[in-house]
Structure 1
Amino acid sequence: MNTEELILKKTFGLLLLKGFDATSITDIQAATGLSRGLLYHYFKNKEELFIQVTEKFFVQIFDFDIRKTKDYTVTEFIRFMCDRFSKINKTISDIIEETGSIKDISVLNYHFLFYQVMQRDAIFRNNYRVTTEKERTGWEFALGNSIERSEIRQNVDINISANQLFTLTDGVWFQGIFSPDGQGIIRNLENALLHYVALLK
């Protein structure tokens, strides 16, 4: 792991544990074992560091290339979405483990930090909006493909169903704030989506 990666990971762990306002450069120094001068060599200030952390651990792990999913059926897109959230969950778990604070951090911390970022950062809000639009579009493609292949009814309203599947996905994922078990969230998500799609057959 290079120095910049180390700083980003350790800072993310601290943000999960303490939040934005309570995390200081002194905390980051202690967690990384680096001097203040070396930290500022990589990031000009705390704000820039936090922006880079949210880009890496929120925007990049949530985003996806919709061109790779445009031919998926609904069942394939469900598998893709569950795999995507599972990877997000693993990334969070790995960071938590590296912080050495497993007992103190859960998926709840990730969601809490997510809302803090949404409140503070207009660029992040816009990037997240773009990602959610990709999700809706992905559901629309998948529904259309499944109708063409006669996997679901021909009279399914693609726009309404895509919005409902998107809302269901977000709802189950964000219900994870009440559960420390990330894999349990993924199972619940898959079951809920497959149940909805069964109603469209």
Structure 2
Amino acid sequence: MNTKDFIIDESFKLFLARSYDGVSINDISNAVCMTKGALYHHFKSKEELFKLVVDKYLYIPTFTIDAKTNSLYKFILQGNIQAEKKLLFYFKDNKVFTPLDYFSFVSEIFRHYPDFAKKKTKFINAEIEKITLILHKAIKIREIREDINVPLISSSFFSINMGLLSNLVRKNSIEESILILREQNFEFYKLLKRS
């Protein structure tokens, strides 16, 4: 791991546990065992560092599955696997993590990173478009019913996956939250399947 990534990772733990305003440059330099001058060699400001932390760690489910060649069932299966890998990668070894800390972290993003919403809106629209393609294909190959409202169902699938955060708060367990997500997705799939 390079120095910049190490600083970003350690800063994430601090921001998550103590908030943006609760973490000073001194706190970060102490956590990474560097002088403030050395820290400023890598990052212009705490705000710049915070933005890089957000870009790396704010997880919104993304589906790296080919929308044109996969069934809806495979899409859901792969999406669940990818969500689990991401969550375990980011949080499994973080002993101080609590879901409420993560929600606080997310709320601070909109105060300290105003362009974030614009960046993520494009991303979210692209993800929903990918789901729309999958649904159209699933209708065409007669995997699911054709009487569904595709734009609404696309948004609903995306919303179910965003609900992973609320599952984390309710269960305080990554493994249980992933299990609930999997069950939610496949229950929704059963409602759409042709009888």
TM-score using structure 1 length: 0.86
Provide the secondary structure at the position in 1 that maps to 2:163: helix
Give the Cα separation in 1 of the matches to 2:17 and 2:82: 24
Give the AA of the match of 2:6: L
* 2:128 corresponds to 1:136: yes
Residue in structure 1 matched with residue 69 of structure 2 by the alignment: 71
Per-residue deviation, 1:8: 0.6
Over 3 Å counting, the alpha-carbon distance change for 1:172 and 1:54 in structure 2 is closer
Per-residue deviation, 1:81: 2.1
Give the Cα separation in 1 of the matches to 2:34 and 2:115: 29
The 8 Å contact of residues 146 and 152 in structure 1, kept in 2 or not, is answered as yes
Greater RCO structure (CA 8 Å; 6+ sep):
1
1:125-145 CA-to-partner distances (Å, cap 9, x unmatched) read 112212221221122111111
1:39-91 CA-to-partner distances (Å, cap 9, x unmatched) read 00001111111111111222xx5474768334332212212321232133123
Over 3 Å counting, the alpha-carbon distance change for 1:179 and 1:82 in structure 2 is same
The 8 Å contact of residues 13 and 95 in structure 1, kept in 2 or not, is answered as no
The runs of at least 4 consecutive aligned structure 1 residues that moved more than 4 Å come to: 63-67
Residue in structure 2 matched with residue 50 of structure 1 by the alignment: 50
Give the Cα separation in 2 of the matches to 1:2 and 1:69: 34
* Equivalent position to 1:194, from 180, 186, 190: 186
Per-residue deviation, 1:172: 4.2
Provide the secondary structure at the position in 1 that maps to 2:115: helix
Residue in structure 2 matched with residue 17 of structure 1 by the alignment: 17
The 8 Å contact of residues 65 and 78 in structure 2, kept in 1 or not, is answered as no
Provide the secondary structure at the position in 2 that maps to 1:51: helix
Over 3 Å counting, the alpha-carbon distance change for 1:95 and 1:32 in structure 2 is farther
User: How much identity, in percent, do the aligned residues show?
Assistant: 24
What are the within-5 Å matches in structure 2 for residues 15-164 of structure 1?
15-58=15-58, 62=60, 64=62, 68-94=66-92, 96=94, 102=95, 104-164=96-156
Per-residue deviation, 1:5: 1.1
Higher helix share: 1
Task: Show structure 1 runs of 5+ residues with no match.
Answer: 97-101
Give the Cα separation in 2 of the matches to 1:113 and 1:73: 35
Count of aligned positions: 193
Give the AA of the match of 2:42: Y
